[in-house]
A and B are shown apart, each in its own frame.
Chain A
């Protein structure tokens, strides 16, 4: 419960400060669509070009360059590192862990668990290492984009790219919905705690959790619907861009030159 409260507080805190912290970055006035295109281009480079055996060296250098750039461009490094730790390290580690043991080849290390022999091979190690660094590089590129671009600008890009309005609404609501989901979960669990005076047995606990989660989905859905109605009532047309925002051409040109330089260097040295 306290863990959930902490996650919710952190997320709400992020939502609350998201616009202001992106506003402080030097990339705020770069055309959002240019930022998105350059981000997608770098992701393509990392995933389809830097796939040589020693590609991870390139990934590490790219991550370092991006981290230094992020610090220089005044991107909120606290948010940046939190994102990298969860999305760039913990999740890929969970996914990549089995890869260590499932490849054949030169044995690096082996041990027995009861009668099962577990082996880490050279190939398994290399694949896992490359996968982890590639994921970390992808996450760094994504973080570089999302922590320099407010959510409203991202939605505006989708609008400009003529994404279906239903899809844009779903994305907007999902983003705003996330905290509703947590808020409702906390409220339900708190209400449950107040009226439950003894620990449930194993089977009953599962039935009870099932009921709680189905109620959670229903409540969050109903809450989300009401918020959407309130948005429509205030003439919401799918776009959330603040009307005072005007991107600057000079900032965009400078950003583009830096990106071209970085991509050329990557191409020359690592592809």
Chain B
């Protein structure tokens, strides 16, 4: 991989809030432009801290972080933040303006967008995310799921190159999850770099092929998700469960002596395809 292709390059990143209590230990990560990654790990493993470090929002990390070839430091942190949109796990930590309209305008206006351009961008965001019903509401009157949607809309309006999404699917209803997945797919198709934090393998969109597992501040695994599903010892160490469909397939594999597979099913279609293929073989 050449340096030109790299969008995020993290070398030997260490971070601690207090001396002798390292949250991140020698993190090395390379992310290409347009790549989508899921960062997995149990609660408190350092995933969110890693995201905050990418934007230089926490003081004094050691090591090197490069975004688009530029080193992240105090001098150019503002420039770098313009390229990255971060969605926090808890939308209450993100939304602070009284109205949804103000919340959506906050980021773009800080980027120097105003007048008609700002108006058309906000209209585009409202249409794409289907938040027409929420736009006139007060931020504090929104439900948790609606707040999450608006938190995402507030960074979507900035049109960043890199999306850092901390547990985007947590506490969302199935319909909103589906809509959210569709938006992520379109972002992926538009060559945006997407990093998602999760501790639940059931909620990973199918277009994401690469997974990074962080455990106690260290990277345990970095590779294809399908390879991770075959590494039970890593999943157990990181306190992660296989997706429910993969667990079901494993059980069926044992009970019905189905063919051993390397690519575990990630959704119902995958599962049915595998089951029909191997199940029918078994019957024969």
Contact = CB atoms under 8 A, between A and B. Distances in A.
Contacts of A232: 55, 57, 81
B140 interface: yes
Nearest to A236: B110
Contacts of A226: 88, 90, 93-94
Contacts of B102: 19, 242
Nearest to B154: A234
A60 interface: no
Interface in B148-206: 154-155, 158
B72 interface: no
A19 B99 contact: yes
13 contacts: A16-B140, A223-B92, A227-B93, A229-B93, A230-B88, A230-B94, A230-B96, A232-B57, A234-B81, A234-B106, A235-B107, A236-B110, A242-B102
Given A226-B93, A233-B55, A234-B85, 19 more contacts: A16-B138, A16-B141, A176-B96, A223-B93, A226-B94, A227-B96, A229-B57, A230-B86, A230-B88, A230-B94, A230-B96, A233-B57, A233-B84, A234-B81, A234-B110, A236-B106, A242-B105, A243-B105, A243-B115
B140 to A, nearest CB: 6
Nearest to A19: B98
A15 interface: yes
Contacts of A230: 86, 88, 93-94, 96
Contacts of B107: 234-235
A244 B115 CA distance: 6
Interface in A1-42: 12, 15-19
A237 interface: yes
B114 A243 contact: yes
B78 interface: yes
Interface residues of B, number: 34
Given A16-B140, A243-B109, A233 B98 contact: no
Interface of A: 12, 15-19, 176, 223, 226-227, 229-237, 240, 242-244
Contacts of A15: 98, 140
B209 interface: no
Contacts of A242: 102, 105, 109
Most chain A C-beta atoms within 10 Å of own C-beta, residue among B52, B57, B85 = B57
Interface in B38-95: 52, 55, 57, 78, 81-82, 84-86, 88, 90, 92-94
Nearest to A14: B98
Contact of A244 (B85, B92, B114, B155): B114
A174 B94 CA distance: 16
B111 A235 contact: yes
Contacts of B88: 226, 230
**Which 3 pairs of residues, A with B, have the shortest CB-CB distance?**
A243-B114, A226-B93, A235-B110
B118 interface: yes
A237 B113 CA distance: 14
Contacts of A17: 98
Contact of A18 (B52, B98, B115): B98
A233 B114 contact: no
B173 to A, nearest CB: 24
A16 B98 contact: yes
B96 A235 contact: no
A230 B81 CA distance: 11
A20 to B, nearest CB: 8
A226 B88 CA distance: 9
B94 A235 contact: no
A16 B141 CA distance: 9
Given A227-B93, A227-B94, A230-B88, A235 B118 contact: no
Contacts of A235: 78, 81-82, 107, 110-111, 158
Contacts of A244: 114-115, 118
Contacts of B86: 230, 233
Given A19-B102, A236-B110, A231 B115 contact: no
Most chain B C-beta atoms within 10 Å of own C-beta, residue among A19, A230, A240 = A230
Interface in B219-254: none
A236 B158 CA distance: 12
A194 B23 CA distance: 34
B17 to A, nearest CB: 12
B105 A234 contact: no
Contacts of B84: 233
B197 to A, nearest CB: 15
Contacts of B105: 242-243
Interface in B111-153: 111, 113-115, 118, 138, 140-141
Most chain B C-beta atoms within 10 Å of own C-beta, residue among A226, A229, A235 = A235
Nearest to B103: A234
Contacts of A243: 105, 109, 113-115, 118
A16 B57 CA distance: 28
A261 B155 CA distance: 49
A15 B141 CA distance: 12
